[in-house]
Structure 1
Amino acid sequence: MHPPISLIFFFLTAGTSIGLFIFTYFIEFLTLFGKGQGLPKEVVLVSGVISLILIGAGAIGASFHLGHKLRAWKAIKRFNTSWLSREAVFSGAYGFTLLIYLVLKYFEVSPFLEHTFGIITWILGILSGFSTAMIYASNKFVLEWNTGITVIYYLLMYLMLGSSAFTIISYFYNLPYTGTFLFLTFLFVLLGLGFRIAFNVRQFYIKRPTLNEALNLPHNRSIRVIDKSSTTDNYCTTEFYYAKGKQMLPTFIPLAYLFTFVIPLFLLIYIYVTDVVNLPLLVLIYLSILAGSAIERWCFFVEGNHVQNLFYGLYPEEGYKLRKGYMERKETRISIY
């Protein structure tokens, strides 16, 4: 699949925004049960404003992926059946309730209203991230994405971005949470590494569709592509198959692993061993995860193989291997009744 830069930008901004607010409000939420002292008002506002700006920028950036941008509002019309529609609704609602929460926090109108909108925003943020992940995980036409691993790994990347971003804020304001969030960042990066490896290993065991299956024919009659269905490039051959990207994957996948996991883990271990913590080091960890996530999302799209590529002879070779037993007992009956 061709990697849309606008959607990668949305992932980075929305991921940091939602991840950052998840941890910011969670500390505030614990005060309802007498746990911790919460956060200074200034920290909540600064973190919240950053989250609000990021989700707004992400929504604007994602709109460039639309063919008719003025019709973006129509995305909400299929909420019952479309994960894309749910993403649009939940993301928009998240930004709106976040704004209300920040206004209530600034004017200190009512602690009850603050926490009510804080909880609603917190839930909407998680639903937004889950809906975005399900857009890909529910796609049965791209077998590489069609797995629960996609959802878990997607949400883990939100937590990686959010925890590393909040660590910077915690250190900058000299809060007592820096050590805790260094550990959480290490934990989420380690879990993310595990699920990313699982995502890549799974690709070796996917049972690829065959032309026989696509045409609903038994496997005892071998079907093969004699010639491409189109002699020139078109939308299907460029958007559903990125030839140049396929050639670059062997280089970009190691880079994604390096920046997203290896460098942050090395720096976090360095902090634990030397007990040296400073702002440039924490910023470097976040930027490494951010850059790595951008490369990883690029790889994620390019790794996807849409089954329509069978029609154009662009599907991976293993997709043409016949599997014995498929529909070999199927009987064809012709009747006038």
Structure 2
Amino acid sequence: MHPAFSVVFFTTATGAGYGLLALLGVLGGLQVVPPDFWLGFVGLGLALGLIAAGLLSSTGHLGRPERAWRAFSQWRSSWLSREGVSSVITFIPAALFGLGWVFFGRTSGWVAIAGLLAAIGAVVTVCTTGMIYASLKPIAQWHSRYTLPAYLLFAAMTGSVLLNALLQGFGVGSIPVLLLSLLATLAGWSWKVATWRHNDGLEIPTTANTATGLAGGTVRSLEWPHTEENYLLKEMGFRIARKHSAKLRMLTQALAFALPVLLLAATFASSWPYAAVPSGLAAIIQFAGMLVERWLFFAEAKHTVTLYYGR
């Protein structure tokens, strides 16, 4: 599939934003995170800012962005529409949670309930985003048991690493949050490697014979459907050389997982304000690594329609 940057940024930014929002909503209500004004202002501002930037970026992949609002009407049958509806609904409790934290200086009572609802909305929205891809049967690399858990794991991973960086930056570092970010990164790394192993071993049952319904012999085209690049080949027939894919996989593992793990481990051995440096670097490097991972997620996916073009 064509890895459009608008969609690559969308899935990366919203995943991190919803992960951070969910953790702030739960841990804030449990008083694990202190109701500090600037921490709430910056933390919730960053979470909602990433979400809003990602959602706006996604419209750049539409042929007619001004008609994006019409997608909300198809929520009964479309995961894309459900994602849009759940993302808008999530903003309501998130705004109430932010109002209580920033303006009233509290994260208990009704503010804690709003935070919990915002966290639930964030998880539901990430699930709908994952299902957009997991539900696509023509793309075997996405239509598997690995896709949806990956979206949830990566949201928890990037969100927890961001939260740890914020806490360390404000001098209120939490060992449980630091440990969570480290374990989530290791879990995300293991899941990504398992996903690649699964995709590399795929034996896709669909061939030109099964696609056309013609049995016996080997079906091949005498003449291609088009003589030059068209929309289907551009969007669904993107090809990446195996050697480039291998290099980008190594880069993904280094930036999204290995380096953040080392930097988070270094945070354990540091005290404030020095602990803020590796924590902040871990968040920045991991976000860059997840952009590469998302690019590969799209670039390595193969749509069945390319069979009609001899690919």
TM-score by length of 1: 0.84
Q: Offset at 1:269?
A: 3.4
Instruction: Look up the equivalent residue of 1:18 and give its one-letter code.
Output: Y
Q: 1:279 aligns with which of 255, 272, 276?
A: 276
- Alignment partner of 2:126: what SS? helix
Residues 1:271 and 1:100: Cα distance change in structure 2 (over 3 Å): closer
Please name the residue that 1:253 is paired with.
249
3-state SS of the aligned residue for 2:30?
helix
Within 5 A, what are the aligned runs for 1:53-132?
Answer: 53-108=49-104, 112-132=109-129
Distance across 1 between alignment mates of 2:187 and 2:266: 19
Q: Distance in 1 between matches of 2:222 and 2:284?
A: 48
CA contact (8 A) 1:141 1:307 kept: yes
Specify the alignment match of 1:319 in structure 2: none
Specify the alignment match of 2:26 in structure 1.
26
In 1, Cα distance between equivalents of 2:36 and 2:51: 23
Deviation of 1:51 (Å): 1.4
The 1:96/1:69 distance shift into structure 2, 3 A limit, reads farther
Partner Cα distance (2:96, 2:219) in 1: 60
- Relative to structure 1, is the Cα distance of residues 52 and 269 closer, same or farther in structure 2, using a 3 angstrom cutoff? closer
Q: Partner of 2:170 in structure 1?
A: 173
1:39 maps onto 2:35 in alignment = yes
- Structure 1 Cα separation of the partners of residues 161 and 114 of structure 2: 24
Q: Which residue number corresponds to residue 232 of structure 1? A: 228
SS class of match (1:152): helix
Cross-structure match for 1:154: 151
Contact 2:90 2:122 in 1 (8 A): yes
- What amino acid is aligned across from residue 231 of structure 1 in structure 2? T
Q: State the Cα distance separating 1:41 from its structure 2 match.
A: 4.1
Task: For residue 135 of structure 1, report the CA deviation from its aligned partner.
Answer: 0.6
C-alpha separation between the residues in 1 aligned to 2:33 and 2:243?
53
- 2:208, 2:220 within 8 Å by CA — same for their partners in 1? yes
| Deviations 1:69-115 (CA, angstroms, capped at 9, x unpaired) | 11111111111111100111111222233223222334439954323
Q: Which residue is equivalent to 1:9?
A: 9
CA distance in 1, matches of 2:224, 2:156: 44
Residue 322 of structure 1 aligns with which residue?
none
Task: Choose the corresponding residue for 1:188, options 184, 192, 195.
Answer: 184
* Larger CA deviation: 236-245 vs 182-191: 236-245
Q: Which amino acid aligns with 2:139?
A: V
Change (3 A) 1:248 1:228: farther
Give CA-to-partner distance per residue, 1:251-273, whole Å, 9 cap, x none. 2121111111121122233444x
Distance 1:267-1:98 versus aligned 2 partners, 3 A rule: same
2:201 counterpart of 1:205? yes
Once the two structures are TM-superposed, the CA of residue 275 in structure 1 deviates from its matched residue by: 4.3
Q: Distance in 2 between matches of 1:198 and 1:270?
A: 27
Letter in 2 for 1:85: S
Contact kept in structure 1, 2:24 and 2:115, CA below 8 Å: no
Match 2:212 to one of 211, 215, 222: 215
Structure number with larger C-alpha Rg: 1
In the alignment, structure 1 residue 269 sits paired with structure 2 residue 265: yes
In the alignment of these two chains, the number of paired residues is 307
Counterparts of 1:259 and 1:109, CA distance in 2 = 37
1:199: how far off?
A: 0.9
TM-aligned CA deviation for residue 223 of structure 1? 1.5
Corresponding letter in the other structure for 1:238: K
Partners of 1:55 and 1:95 within 8 A in 2: no
- State how far apart, in whole Å, the 1-side matches of 2:288 and 2:48 are: 21
Residues 246 and 279 (structure 1 numbering): CA distance in 2 closer, same or farther, change over 3 Å?
Answer: same
* Equivalent in the alignment of 2:307: 310
Unaligned runs of 5+ in 1: 315-337
CA RMSD of aligned residues (A): 2.1
Verify the 8 A CA contact 1:246 1:303 in the aligned structure 2.
Answer: no
Contact 1:160 1:289 in 2 (8 A): no
Per-residue CA deviation, residues 90-146 of structure 1 (Å, 9 max, x unaligned), is 112222332232223344399543233222211111111110011111110100011
1:203-222 residue CA offsets vs partner (Å, 9 max, x unmatched):
2332211111112233x333
Letter of the 2:194 counterpart: A
Shift in Å at residue 7 of structure 1? 1.3
